[in-house]
Amino acid sequence: MDASKLDLVPSLKLESHTSRLERRFNLRSLLVVTQVALSFMLLIGAGLFVRTLRSIQTINVGYQRGNVLVASLDPSLHGYDRAKGQQLYSALLERVRAIPGVSAVSLAATVSPNPGGSLIEDNIQIEGRSGQTELLGIEYNRVGPNYFATMEMPLVRGRDFSLQDRSGGPSIAVINETLAGKLFPNEDPIGKRFRFSNEDTFTEVVGVARDGKYRSMREAGLPCLYQPFLMVYRPEMNLLVRSQSDPAALTAAIRKELDGLDSRIPFFNVRTLEQQVRNATSQERAAALLTSLFGGLALLLAAIGLYGVMSYAVSQRTHDIGVRMALGAQVGDVLRLVLKNGMMLAVAGVVVGLAGALAMTRLLRTLLFGVTPNDLLTFVLVTGGLLFVAFLACYLPARRATKVDPLIALRYE
C-alpha cells in the first residue's frame, strides 16, 4: 500500500535538478573542448614559427660570423675629404691590426644581411661581345684590403683585394658565383672585363666569391659585385675586426687607436656579426616568441579548465563513486573511469583543433621557411605534449576520487 502511494513530485524535482547539473556540466565541457582546440591551434603555429626560426638560423650567410666586431665611422662629418679620409682609414687599419688578439681587419660600406644595401640597376657591356646584357638588381659593396680574408668568405677563384688596389690603378672587381654565372656562363670569369652603360672604362674580374645573403635571410641567390674601397671612395664605412676571442673586449682598444688619429671622429653602431645576423631574423624571432607565449598561456588555461571540470564532476559523483566502491570497484577502476571522461574531452578538443590548425596553416604558408604548413613532426609533438598536459590535469581529480570513503559517500547528500 505504501509503495502504491509513491509521491512522484520529489523524484521529478530530483530529475530536474540532475538535468540542470548535466546541462551545466555539458556547458563546462564545451568550454574546455574549445580551450583545448584553441591552444592546439596556437601551439601548432608556435611550433611552425620556432622551426622556421631554427631553419633560418642554420642558413649559410656566406661568411664566418663568429668573433668579428663591427663599428661604423664617418670622417666626412668633420670635414675630411677623399684624400684625408683614405689616409685616416689606411692608418686606422694599420693601428688596429697591431692590437694584440686581432687576427684580421678590413672595411666594408655594407655589412650583410642588410635590407638597406646598395643596388645597381643597369645594363652591362662585356668586352669582346656585341650588344648589352640586361641585368637588374646587382648588390654593390665597397670593401677594404683583405676583406674576404677578414670575413672568412671563401673565394672560389682569383684573389682578395690588397693595398695596391687603389685610385690610379686599373679598375677591378670581385663578383659572386651568381653574377659570374649570369655574365660568363660556362667560362672562367678571371681576367674578363665588363662595364656599366654609364662608364667609359672596363672593370676586370680578379676574383669570384661564394654566394651569401645580402638583404635578407630568405632571399634566393642574388648577383653581387665588390670593388676596392681605396679605388671607389665612400666616407661612411664599417670597420671589421676579427679577433681570436671575444670581439667586444677590443672595443676600448680600437677606440683608443682611433683617438690617437683624431678623437673627433664618431665611432658608433658597435655590434658583432652575430648581432647583425640576429637582427636580420628579428621578425621570425618575434613571431616565434609571441605565438609561443600565447600558446603556452592557452595551454595553461585549458589545463586549468579541464582540471576544474573534472574536479566538479568528481564532487557531483561522490555518491555514485561510493556505491561503485561499496559494490567492489577497485581503485584502478575508479581511476580509469575519471581519466577516461577527462581524456575524452581533451581528445575532442584536439580533433577540433586539428581541423582548425590545418585550415590556419594554409594562411601561414608565406610566413614559413624551411618547413611545410602540415609538418608532421610539429603536429605529432604538439598533440603528444597537449595530451600529456591534459592527462596530468585529469590525474589529480582522478586520484582524489579513489580516496573516497564508501561509507561517507553513501551518506553524501
**For the chain, how many residues are written?**
413
Q: How far apart are CA 48 and CA 42, in angstroms?
A: 10
Q: What is the CA radius of gyration of the chain?
A: 35
pLDDT tens-place string over residues 113-148? 988 778 888 888 898 887 767 666 899 999 999 999
Q: How far apart are the first and last CA of the chain?
A: 28
pLDDT at 22: 45
Q: Which three cell numbers stand for residue 211?
A: 654566394
Question: What pTM value is reported for the model?
Answer: 0.77
pLDDT of 6 over the 90 cut: no
Q: Which helix (H) or strand (E) holds 26?
A: helix 8-57
Percent of the chain clearing pLDDT 70 (strictly above) = 84
pLDDT tens-place string over residues 305-330? 888 877 776 666 555 655 555 555 55
pLDDT of 175 over the 90 cut: yes
Rounded alpha-carbon distances, angstroms, from residue 73 to 81, 157, 188: 14, 31, 37
Going by pLDDT thresholds of 50, 70 and 90, the confidence category of residue 14 is very low
**Rounded (10°) angle between helices 318-326 and 282-316:** 60
**Rounded (10°) angle between helices 82-97 and 251-262:** 140
Q: Which three cell numbers stand for residue 336?
A: 580509469
204 versus 22: which is more confidently predicted? 204
DSSP letters along 235-273, please?
A: SSEEEEEEESS-GGGGHHHHHHHHHHHHTTS-EEEEEEH
Domain ranges of the chain: 3-58+282-410, 75-265
Nearest partner of 139 among 164, 115, 157, 106, judged by Cα:
115
Please calculate the CA angle 29-32-38 and round it to the nearest 5 degrees: 145
Residues 6+ apart with CB under 8 A from 61: 112, 113, 212, 213, 217, 277
Going by pLDDT thresholds of 50, 70 and 90, the confidence category of residue 365 is confident
Side-chain-side CA neighbours of 202 within 13 Å: the count stands at 12
Q: Which three cell numbers stand for residue 258?
A: 682611433
pLDDT tens-place string over residues 181-227? 999 998 999 999 999 887 888 999 999 999 999 988 888 889 999 99
pLDDT of 150 over the 90 cut: yes
325 versus 54: which is more confidently predicted? 54
Inter-residue contact 287 to 381 (CB < 8 Å): no
Average of per-residue pLDDT values in the chain: 84
